[in-house]
Amino acid sequence: MTIPPAYQAYFAETDADRRKALLDEIKAKDADDALLPLCRALWKLRYVDPKSGRRVDLFLWEILNLICLYRTAGWMKKSARKEVIRALEALGVSLAAPYGEAGEAVLSAELANAMRLYLSTCDSKSYRKRLMGLSEMKTGDWQYKVAGDIWRLSEGLPEKLDMKAAFALLGRVAREEFCKAFENGETLLEERRHAKKS
C-alpha cells in the first residue's frame, strides 16, 4: 500500500509541531479518515514523554539506543533481546499491527521520517568531531561512520541477536533512507558489511 496524497506532506515534515498541525488539517478535511487514528497515536507515542508529558522524540531516541546496543549485545544477549523487544514496542510495531498492510505502510513512513531526522543530525560539526573534539572528520570518513551506524541497526544487531525477522521493517527503512541521503550509500553499506567493525 502507498501512503495517500493527503499524508505526503505530513510524512515529509520532520518538525513535530508542524506535523501536528498537518494532522489537524487532515482531520478538518476528513474526520473519518481511516489512517488518522493510527497517525495521531504514532505522533503521541513518538513526541510525548509518557512520564512527564514533555515534547521529545522517542523514535529518534530508540534508533540511537538500538545503534548503541550493538556494542554490548554480544555478551548480554538475553537482556539485549528484551531491550530490542521493548524498543520495537516503543517504535509503534504493535500499535500499527491491527491496521494490517495499511498500518505497516504508515509505520514504515513514520520510521522513514525518524531516520531522515537522524541522518540530518549526522551532517553536523558535533557528529563529525573526533579526538575529543579537537579535529573534524573528512566527508568520506563521517559518511563511513554513518554507514556503520546504519549497518549496526539494520544488519549487525539483528544478526548478533538472531532477530532478523523482528528488525525486517526497521532495517529496510534504515537502509533505504541512508541510500537516499548518500549518493554512494550502497557502496558504503557494502564496505561496512564486509568490514563488520563495531
pLDDT at 63 over 90: yes
Q: If you search the block for the grid coordinates 520532520, which residue do you land on?
A: 14
pLDDT digits (tens, 9 = 90+) for 82-103: 999 999 999 999 999 999 999 9
User: What distance in Å separates the CA atoms of residue 116 and residue 177, rounded to the nearest whole number?
Assistant: 6
Average pLDDT in the chain? 90
CA-CA-CA-CA torsion for 165, 57, 39, 41, nearest 10 degrees? Answer: 90
Q: Please tell me the least confidently modeled range out of 41-45, 51-55, 129-133.
A: 129-133
SS3 12: helix
pLDDT at 129 over 50: yes
SS3 129: strand
**pLDDT classification of 198: cutoffs 50, 70, 90:** very low
pTM above 0.85, yes or no: yes
* Sign of the dihedral through C-alpha 53, 55, 60, 61: negative
Highest mean pLDDT among 26-35, 37-46, 120-129: 37-46
User: What distance in Å separates the CA atoms of residue 135 and residue 8, rounded to the nearest whole number?
Assistant: 40
pLDDT at 192 over 90: no
User: What distance in Å separates the CA atoms of residue 150 and residue 145, rounded to the nearest whole number?
Assistant: 9
In the prediction, which pLDDT does 73 show?
Answer: 77
User: Could you tell me if 171 and 158 are in contact, meaning their C-beta atoms sit under 8 angstroms apart?
Assistant: yes
In the prediction, which pLDDT does 154 show?
Answer: 95
User: What distance in Å separates the CA atoms of residue 20 and residue 5, rounded to the nearest whole number?
Assistant: 17
- Residues 39-60 have a mean pLDDT of 95
pLDDT at 72 over 60: yes
pLDDT digits (tens, 9 = 90+) for 4-20: 888 999 999 999 999 99
